[in-house]
Amino acid sequence: MPHIAVVGAGMGGLSAAADLARRGYRVSVFEKETSPGGKLRQVEVGAATIDAGPTVFTMHWVFEGLFRDAGARLEDHLTLDRAEVLARHAWPDGGRLDLFADRLRSQYAIKEFAGQREAAGFRDFCRRSASVHAALRDSFMTRALPSQAELIATLARRGLAADGLRAMLGTPPWQSLWRALAEHFHDPRLRQLFGRFSTYVGSSPLAAPATLMLIAHVEQEGVWLVRGGMRKVAEALQQLGESGGARYHFDTAVSELVLCNGQCCGLKLATGEIIEADAIVFNGDANALAAGFLGRDAVSAGMPMARAARALSAVTWCVKAPTRGFELEHHNVFFGDRYPEEFQNIFERRHIKPQPTVYLCAQDRGAATTGAASGNADSGERMLLLVNAPADGDTGGIDDERLATLEQEVGELLSHCGLQIERRAGDCIVTRPQDFERLFPGTGGSLYGRANHGAFASFARPGAATAIPGLYLAGGSVHPGPGIPMATLSGRIVAEKIAEDFA
Ligand X SMILES: Cc1cc2nc3c(=O)[nH]c(=O)nc-3n(C[C@H](O)[C@H](O)[C@H](O)COP(=O)(O)OP(=O)(O)OC[C@H]3O[C@@H](n4cnc5c(N)ncnc54)[C@H](O)[C@@H]3O)c2cc1C
Confirm or reject binding of residue 56 to ligand X (CB under 6 A): yes
Least CB distance from residue 161 to ligand X, whole Å?
Answer: 33
Q: Tell me the pairing of strands 48-51 and 42-45.
A: antiparallel
Question: In the complex with ligand X, which residue's Cβ is closer, 11 or 206?
Answer: 11
- Within 312-351, the residues that bind ligand X by CB under 6 A are 314, 316
Q: Which is nearest to 212 in space by CA: 28, 486, 501, 414?
A: 486
Least CB distance from residue 21 to ligand X, whole Å?
Answer: 17
Neighbours of 376 (CB within 10 A): 9
Q: Which of 153, 169, 253, 372 binds ligand X (CB under 6 A)?
A: 253
Q: Which of 80, 257, 484, 498 binds ligand X (CB under 6 A)?
A: 484
Question: In the complex with ligand X, which residue's Cβ is closer, 184 or 231?
Answer: 231
The SS3 assignment for 12 reads: helix
Q: Tell me the pairing of strands 247-249 and 26-30.
A: parallel
Least CB distance from residue 160 to ligand X, whole Å?
Answer: 33
Cα(456)–Cα(173) distance, integer angstroms: 8
Cα(321)–Cα(229) distance, integer angstroms: 18
- Within 378-397, the residues that bind ligand X by CB under 6 A are 386
How far is Cα of residue 233 from the mean position of the Cα atoms in its chain?
Answer: 14
Least CB distance from residue 379 to ligand X, whole Å?
Answer: 24
Q: What angle do CA 225, 99, 231 make, to 5 degrees?
A: 20
Contact window for ligand X (CB under 6 A) among 3-11, 72-80, 88-96, 342-350: 3-11
Confirm or reject binding of residue 476 to ligand X (CB under 6 A): yes
Q: How far apart are the first and last CA of the chain?
A: 11
Q: Which of 18, 126, 225, 254 binds ligand X (CB under 6 A)?
A: 254
Taking CB positions, which residue lies at the least distance from ligand X?
A: 10
* Alpha helix stretches (DSSP H) within 137-244: 148-157, 163-170, 177-182, 188-195, 214-220, 231-243
Confirm or reject binding of residue 51 to ligand X (CB under 6 A): no
Confirm or reject binding of residue 40 to ligand X (CB under 6 A): yes
Confirm or reject binding of residue 38 to ligand X (CB under 6 A): yes
Confirm or reject binding of residue 98 to ligand X (CB under 6 A): no
Tell me the number of residues near ligand X by CB under 6 A. 35
Question: In the complex with ligand X, which residue's Cβ is closer, 60 or 320?
Answer: 60
How far is Cα of residue 68 from the mean position of the Cα atoms in its chain?
Answer: 23
**Radius of gyration (Cα) for the chain, nearest Å?**
22
Contact window for ligand X (CB under 6 A) among 113-121, 273-281, 441-449, 452-460: 441-449
Question: In the complex with ligand X, which residue's Cβ is closer, 462 or 482?
Answer: 482
Confirm or reject binding of residue 28 to ligand X (CB under 6 A): no
Q: Which is nearest to 139 in space by CA: 157, 154, 156, 153?
A: 154
Question: In the complex with ligand X, which residue's Cβ is closer, 52 or 167?
Answer: 52
Q: Which of 42, 49, 55, 446 binds ligand X (CB under 6 A)?
A: 55
Least CB distance from residue 167 to ligand X, whole Å?
Answer: 23
Q: Which of 2, 3, 26, 33 binds ligand X (CB under 6 A)?
A: 33
DSSP string of 48-71, one letter each residue: EEEE-S---B--HHHHHHHHHHTT
Q: Which of 4, 11, 167, 190 binds ligand X (CB under 6 A)?
A: 11
- Within 270-289, the residues that bind ligand X by CB under 6 A are 283-284
Helices then strands, each counted (H, E), the chain: 16, 21
Least CB distance from residue 461 to ligand X, whole Å?
Answer: 12
**Could you tell me if 283 and 5 are in contact, meaning their C-beta atoms sit under 8 angstroms apart?**
no
Contact window for ligand X (CB under 6 A) among 18-26, 42-50, 156-164, 482-490: 482-490
Confirm or reject binding of residue 301 to ligand X (CB under 6 A): no
Strand-pair partners of 321 = 381
The SS3 assignment for 369 reads: coil
**Could you tell me if 328 and 360 are in contact, meaning their C-beta atoms sit under 8 angstroms apart?**
yes
Element (H, E) at 384: strand 381-389
Least CB distance from residue 108 to ligand X, whole Å?
Answer: 26
Confirm or reject binding of residue 472 to ligand X (CB under 6 A): no
Neighbours of 116 (CB within 10 A): 9
**Could you tell me if 434 and 313 are in contact, meaning their C-beta atoms sit under 8 angstroms apart?**
no
**Could you tell me if 373 and 382 are in contact, meaning their C-beta atoms sit under 8 angstroms apart?**
yes
Confirm or reject binding of residue 482 to ligand X (CB under 6 A): yes
Question: Dmax of the chain from CA atoms?
Answer: 67
Least CB distance from residue 52 to ligand X, whole Å?
Answer: 7
Contact window for ligand X (CB under 6 A) among 47-55, 214-222, 348-356, 363-371: 47-55
Confirm or reject binding of residue 42 to ligand X (CB under 6 A): no
Cα(382)–Cα(224) distance, integer angstroms: 18
Contact footprint for ligand X (CB under 6 A): 7-13, 30-33, 38-40, 53-56, 253-254, 283-284, 314, 316, 386, 440-441, 447-448, 475-476, 482-484, 487
